[in-house]
Structure 1
Amino acid sequence: MRVLIAGASGALGIQLVKQLAKLKIDFKATTGSREGRKKLAPYANEIVVVNSQESPEDFTNVTRDIDIVISAIGKSISLFNPSSRSFHESDFVANKLLIKDALKNKVSRFIYVSMEGAMEANSFEIPGSHKETEDLLVNSGLNYSIIRPVGFFSGLNDLLIMAKRKVIPVIGSGDARTNSIYQGDLAKIIIDMLETGPRVQSVGGPEIHTRKEMAKMIQKKIGGKLLFIPSTLAGAGADMIKLLTSGTGNKLKYFNYIMDHDMIGERLGSMKFEEYLNTIDLKDLP
């Protein structure tokens, strides 16, 4: 069995790489940058840099001699990691090329990491791009599984960065609930599904918290003041920012949505959010 991990240098991808290496499962990794290659070098023997926008031909035969593809391709949702490319360009286009190549090379299984909200909130660009990819995969004829995590713990690092700046924003009342999952736990769940698994799996962590409860955990760990922002005000702010920079505006609009809506998946994994916070070295945050 040989596995391709696409998007291997991201928060989830690096966990997949580390765990496959530990299990001695043969794999190849793709990343979108030379910086990603450096990050993967200690764990992967075969690393391919691909760029779906500038060099779509990079994807030609990237799945040759591959049995199982895991696509963790995804543009960073962090407000502190800006990019001029849209989520459609960064996520859907790359996955479209990957699915096309997997079909050509008769890959036996394709596991796609989407997101909770891809069905219910696809009018937003971020989940909408995942929905496009899901639809393409479902209609491709490939044997597939779609994983929909409600969110990674690492995706909340923006709130930790803001807490270092003494403010922790909470959109709306803070009563919306979620059970985000540690990316290492999600990687293990995906690896357990390498050969077989459900068509669609909604995945969350072991504990359900309100956004306000999670903000208070961050406050306890780092400090800072909780700042409650009315949903209408936050939405108007995101619209204004979108006029100046669509990428950041789209991130903010979806951030506002998830902060004010329940996002709950099947309770899996083992690491709790408070435990995750205790693993964070604040010096690693900007």
Structure 2
Amino acid sequence: MKKKVLILGASGALGLEILKEANKKNFSIRALTHSEEGYNTIKAFTKDIWFGDASNAPTQLRGITNGVDYVISAMGKSVSLFNPTPNSFYQNNYKANYHVLQDAIVNQVDHFFYVSMKGADKASKFTIPETHRMMEQEIRKSNLKYSIIRPVGFFSGLNDLIIMAKRQIIPLVGDAQAKTNSIHQVDLAQFIFDAFLNLPDCIEVGGPKVHTREDMAKMIQKKIGGKIIKFPESMAHFGSQFSKLISKKQLGHKLEYFSYIMSHDMIGEKHGEISFETYLNQINTEDIK
């Protein structure tokens, strides 16, 4: 009998790649979406689709893990400055996943996989990683078998810099010498399924190459153009706090974490094959708005 996997966030950039990999591995698939657009994205891979906002309507999700062997969650709020969504990071990163976890406990799923983020343990003073840290804690005390995957960042997460480059500015924070090895979502999805039940309780995962933030900005500049401008950390901090003061808390949370990751090393175990340069060469920048 096929093993059944529930995929949360299945229509997102990472979730869709996880969905594709699950399909290749011949799993029986259940997926959760809250929109017609999400349904149209995933319907080619499964007919077992549940509708509901996991953060606000836990009763709609009762029984969602019934008959499910594994849960893989790539569900969370976008950190893009150009992709505002109504729910808070607390609602999307924590509450939504918490509601599904409670159902998974009732139905005693075999394994719960949660895509968190690097910094969930060490940068929890910031709202975004803190909401992931809270969810990690819930998983650890659930008595379920689990794997927490902390990517250092996705190439698609740098699309904001591509958008700004198209507007002729590429902002960096500090001296821009902080290093990272962001990963392509295709590589991360493949890594999850290649390791799968052999994954450790927690792992920090990156792509195949380490670059400084300035190196990556120069690659974007070469592809698109724009002027690289370095802002002092103090100025970036002021911008995030000012956003909160004028009732743009979600933007403020994004700006303060953007400032943090741009000025701190974010490096994980090297995996995958797709480099950032390859990613830039493959994408159609006109689709990134």
TM bracket, shorter-chain basis: over 0.9
Aligned residue in 1 for 2:105:
103
* Higher deviation after alignment, 55-64 or 178-187: 55-64
Aligned residue in 2 for 1:261:
264
1:181-220 alignment, distance < 5 Å: 181-220=183-222
Residue 194 of structure 1 aligns to a residue whose secondary structure is helix
Aligned residue in 1 for 2:70:
68
Aligned letter for 2:108? Answer: K
Out of 260, 264, 279, the residue aligned to residue 282 of structure 2 is 279
Out of 158, 174, 177, the residue aligned to residue 176 of structure 2 is 174
User: Cα deviations across residues 96-118 of structure 1 (Å, max 9, x unaligned)?
Assistant: 11110001111011111111000
1:145-156 alignment, distance < 5 Å: 145-156=147-158
Superposed displacement of residue 45, structure 1: 2.3
**Structure 1: 5+ residue stretches without partners:** none
User: Cα deviations across residues 249-268 of structure 1 (Å, max 9, x unaligned)?
Assistant: 10111001000100010111
User: Cα deviations across residues 115-157 of structure 1 (Å, max 9, x unaligned)?
Assistant: 1000000111110000000000001100001101000111111
Superposed displacement of residue 41, structure 1: 1.9
1:53-64 alignment, distance < 5 Å: 53-64=55-66
> CA RMSD of the aligned region, Å?
1.1
Contact 1:17 1:44 in 2 (8 A): no
Out of 44, 47, 51, the residue aligned to residue 53 of structure 2 is 51
Superposed displacement of residue 36, structure 1: 1.2
Aligned letter for 1:177? Answer: K
TM-score (norm 2): 0.96
Contact 1:84 1:247 in 2 (8 A): no
Aligned letter for 2:255? Answer: L
Superposed displacement of residue 24, structure 1: 2.3
Residue 117 of structure 2 aligns to a residue whose secondary structure is coil
Contact 2:118 2:151 in 1 (8 A): yes
* Higher deviation after alignment, 176-185 or 12-21: 12-21
Superposed displacement of residue 83, structure 1: 2.2
Superposed displacement of residue 192, structure 1: 2.0
**Structure 2: 5+ residue stretches without partners:** none
User: Cα deviations across residues 79-100 of structure 1 (Å, max 9, x unaligned)?
Assistant: 1111232101111001111110
Aligned letter for 1:283? Answer: E
- Tell me the distance in 1 between the aligned counterparts of 2:52 and 2:134: 21
- Tell me the distance in 2 between the aligned counterparts of 1:200 and 1:53: 24
In percent, how many aligned pairs have the same letter?
Answer: 48
1:55-134 alignment, distance < 5 Å: 55-134=57-136
Residue 117 of structure 1 aligns to a residue whose secondary structure is coil
- Tell me the distance in 2 between the aligned counterparts of 1:49 and 1:157: 29
- Tell me the distance in 2 between the aligned counterparts of 1:279 and 1:45: 31
TM-score (norm 1): 0.97
Aligned residue in 2 for 1:36:
38
Aligned letter for 2:24? Answer: K
Superposed displacement of residue 54, structure 1: 3.6
